[in-house]
Structure 1
Amino acid sequence: MLNRLFRRKRPEAEALGLYEAIVAQARRPEFYAGFGVPDTIDGRFEMIALHAFLVMRRLKGQGQAASAVSQELFDTLIADMDRSLREIGIGDLSVPKHIKNMAKGLYGRIVSYEKGLEDPGDAELHAALDRNLYGTVLEVPEAHLAAMAAYMRRETAALAGQPVDGLAAGRVQFGPPPVIG
């Protein structure tokens, strides 16, 4: 009994709470209808990856508990992608290859979005969004890139204002999708 009282809590439940909020935000129809994000498996993956990046970025460097939740969030995303691939009929033997490519792609997105947010201008972030979020779209209106870049910057600032303890406990709040102005 004493072992249960003093045992460290594992971060799976917290990561699942974050992941559910990320997926709910990523599925908002405004992103697809208003901003031309492809309403496809790829487009939905990209929206989930973008929001997961924002949360993991906020958790980065915030202590061991936040780091554990961030890693578990990444693992939860990958496990969900594995399940989704199997549901759509990808053969069991090729799922690991697809997952490996998705994980590598997610790491690439993290790097490119990080660079984009660090750039005081928007050129790098627009390029990252064009290459990833809109990767299957032939011509992306500049207004869509600008709105999504502004949204990412706004959400980064909003997440910075959310207590790390709340995020590490699995609670996150996102604002509404962007508005083209």
Structure 2
Amino acid sequence: MLPRLGRLVTQTSKLRSLTTNGSMKNLSFLSHYGYATVAPAPDAPPLKDFPSKSPVNLDKLFWSKPCSLALPKDSPLRIDEPNYEGVRRFILKVLLFYSKQSISIRRANVIYKRIISQVEKPAIYDVFNLEKTFKITFSLLVLHMWLVLRRLNEEGKEGVDLGQYVYEIYNHDVEVRVSKAGVNLLLLKWMKELEKIFYGNVVAYDAALLPEAKPNELQIKIWRNVFSDDGTTTPDDTDLKAAKA
């Protein structure tokens, strides 16, 4: 799975060059690498597609206390790299604890833990009046994963490699979540469907940030994938219960 995410980054870069050359209409090259074939983005819908009454709870949005993004030293989310000395450090080095791969995996775990902390914050569900269903949580998880992977991609090869480890941890976490929902016999089927949705959303979000993208296209994509039933076909709790049965 690690090489697949690396190829996705490469293909996303190709997507930018293709759109620059006016070839956005054909994205079938993704299917050659095993990704979901992404249909051309439809024209931006008129504003009437958005709800006339805002689903945002403005009271909870504006009256909530400001919160710093910096982690305090006593935060359970804060994990510092251990710095052992002497014989213990020598033994850990022999056991490859300080190898580049081990360090990257620990860093990826820290990053993913931060992602989950944001996705599962009650505030995001309260402010936007969202139900905490599998579909909503998964859609928010994919959105946050895209934000992190896009940021890591800007760090060059080192960032891309770290993003691959983050993606592996994400993929395992999704599998555990689906399994906890009671889906075991059809687990492989659901994982394939969720993988298609992940790659489709990543490409759609990236395309929405291109210079050629229409105004508000990113907002429309996020609305369709997270808040609306017209976007992704992410299975909801009812679908998972039916699969369990």
Greater relative contact order (CA < 8 Å, ≥ 6 in sequence): 1
Contact conserved, 1:38 with 1:136, CA < 8 A, in 2?
A: no
Rounded to whole Å, the distance in 1 between the matches of 2:141 and 2:98 is 35
Counterpart code for 1:29: P
- Residue deviations 1:117-170, cap 9 Å, x none? 335764211221122111338xxxxxxxxxxxxxxxxxxxxxxxxxxxxxxxxx
Quick check: 1:99 aligned with 2:191?
yes
Shift of 1:21: 0.3
Question: RMSD over aligned Cα, in angstroms?
Answer: 2.4
Cα distance change on mapping 1:122 and 1:21 into 2, 3 Å: farther
Structure 1 partner of 2:229: 136
Structure 2 partner of 1:147: none
Rounded to whole Å, the distance in 1 between the matches of 2:98 and 2:166 is 24
Which protein shows a greater Rg? 2
Which of the two has greater helix per residue? 1
Where do 5+ consecutive residues of structure 2 fail to align?
1-89, 231-245
- Residue deviations 1:38-63, cap 9 Å, x none? 32111111111111110100111423
After TM superposition, the structure 1 = structure 2 runs for residues 99-178 of structure 1, keeping only pairs within 5 Å, are 99-118=191-210, 122-136=215-229
Rounded to whole Å, the distance in 2 between the matches of 1:102 and 1:72 is 18
Shift of 1:64: 2.6
Rounded to whole Å, the distance in 1 between the matches of 2:124 and 2:136 is 10
Where do 5+ consecutive residues of structure 1 fail to align?
138-181
Contact conserved, 1:37 with 1:133, CA < 8 A, in 2?
A: no
Quick check: 1:28 aligned with 2:121?
yes
Counterpart code for 1:45: F
Contact conserved, 1:38 with 1:134, CA < 8 A, in 2?
A: no
Cα distance change on mapping 1:6 and 1:30 into 2, 3 Å: closer
Rounded to whole Å, the distance in 1 between the matches of 2:170 and 2:111 is 10
Identity %: 24
Structure 1 partner of 2:42: none
Counterpart code for 2:193: N
Shift of 1:65: 2.3
What secondary structure does 1:36 align onto?
A: coil
Structure 2 partner of 1:83: 176
Structure 2 partner of 1:179: none
| Worse overlay, 6-15 or 125-134 | 6-15
> How many aligned residue pairs are there?
137
